[in-house]
Homo-oligomer: A and B are copies of this chain.
Amino acid sequence: MNFSFNLIKTDPSGARLGTAVTPHGAFSTPVFMPVGTRASVKGVTPEALREAGAEIILANTYHLYLRPGHETIAALGGLHRFMHWDGPILTDSGGFQVWSLGKLRRIDEEGVSFASHLDGARCVLTPESVVEIQEALGSDIIMPLDECTPYPSSREYAEDSMNLTHRWAQRCKKAKKNTGQALFGIVQGGMYGDLRAASAGAITGIGFDGYAIGGLSVGEDKALMHGMAEAALPHLSAASPRYLMGVGTPEDLVWGVGAGIDMFDCVMPTRNARNGTLFTTNGKLVIKNARHERDPAPVDEGCGCYTCRNYSRAYLRHLYMAGEVLSPVLNSIHNLYYYEWLMREMRSAISQDRFGQWSKAFHEGRNAGG
């Protein structure tokens, strides 16, 4: 089965409801993708991921390329079999991770070279090699190599960087074999609205199975992030899925869905879980707080997740304070469920043409409860 996307409807507010089909099954949009950086969503089994409501997950090409290596994963039957997740997987291209290395990396026309964070070995990634690596991994959605434009950047740098990303996107498309995997394009353009619009137009012009907005959530304020995404969106094909990379908080997701974005990923639910910060319908809950010491209530009264059905805040606090392995496990299950529940709520609201009201009520509840 090749990749396809069916836009079911657009709510009066602009929020979109859709279904994507991949070689490993379908997922509904708008969708949140839990992050399984190194072929594991930290602490959570695939069965627990499914139970939490996840339909598609993300894995990081950069990390898997370095360890255990894409060839090892290919020899073992591909990423799905390796990690025992039989649903859709999106792999990023490594561009963002390489960018995060700062001075350890060098970018030129050919691609990026960098020192491995594991052993310092010199590595090179090119548009062609990242496609090859992701083909070996066997992910369902492949991302092209891009340069994540630093923030802040001069307009000149942002424009040059954007044009490099466009040339790399063309090389990725050319390199890609007919594997049934989808290839998305990535919009860059720094924090310049006209460049964002131009990039969206150029990437759409090349033609991809879906369109991602990259280079945001890199330190800029929310208003600027929203402005940059909104500058790009009108220039992307309405018939294709739109993916805002690396975003974000529950509030970001609600804003993004309202802006017409279909796909999101973020480490926040699992990272916060490990730090003992839990998402609830009343805002964040810091589990280590002394007031939870004897609290028999679940994290969130209305939540249907495994953790809330079976454990008290008092027990979760105890596990956290004691440094027990089960602490990140149970916290991650809850936070992922919360994120997936939020997406289900939004899909339901869109299907009933009431996303605008739903979104207003969500933000008001946040202001009241938070």
Contacts and interface: CB of A to CB of B under 8 A. Distances in A.
Contacts of A311: 84
A43 B42 CA distance: 12
B84 A318 contact: no
B329 A68 contact: no
Contact of A82 (B72, B315, B321): B315
B310 A38 contact: no
B294 A76 contact: yes
Contacts of A84: 310-311, 315
A77 interface: yes
A293 interface: yes
A312 interface: yes
A260 interface: no
Q: Which range holds the interface residue count of chain A?
A: 35 or more
Nearest to A84: B310
Interface string A289-333: 000011010000000000000111011011101101110111000
Nearest to A83: B315
Contacts of A162: none
A296 B73 CA distance: 10
A67 B321 contact: yes
Count the copies.
2
B312 A42 contact: no
Contacts of A42: 324-326
A322 B68 CA distance: 9
Contacts of A324: 38, 40, 42
A272 interface: no
A75 interface: yes
Given A312-B82, A318-B39, A321-B67, A72 B293 contact: yes
Given A42-B326, A72-B294, A76-B294, 10 more contacts: A40-B319, A45-B330, A67-B318, A68-B293, A72-B314, A76-B312, A82-B312, A82-B315, A325-B325, A325-B329
30 contacts: A38-B322, A38-B324, A39-B318, A40-B324, A40-B325, A40-B326, A42-B325, A42-B326, A43-B329, A45-B326, A45-B329, A45-B330, A67-B318, A67-B321, A68-B293, A68-B314, A68-B318, A68-B321, A72-B293, A72-B294, A75-B294, A76-B294, A76-B312, A76-B315, A77-B296, A82-B315, A82-B318, A84-B310, A325-B329, A329-B329
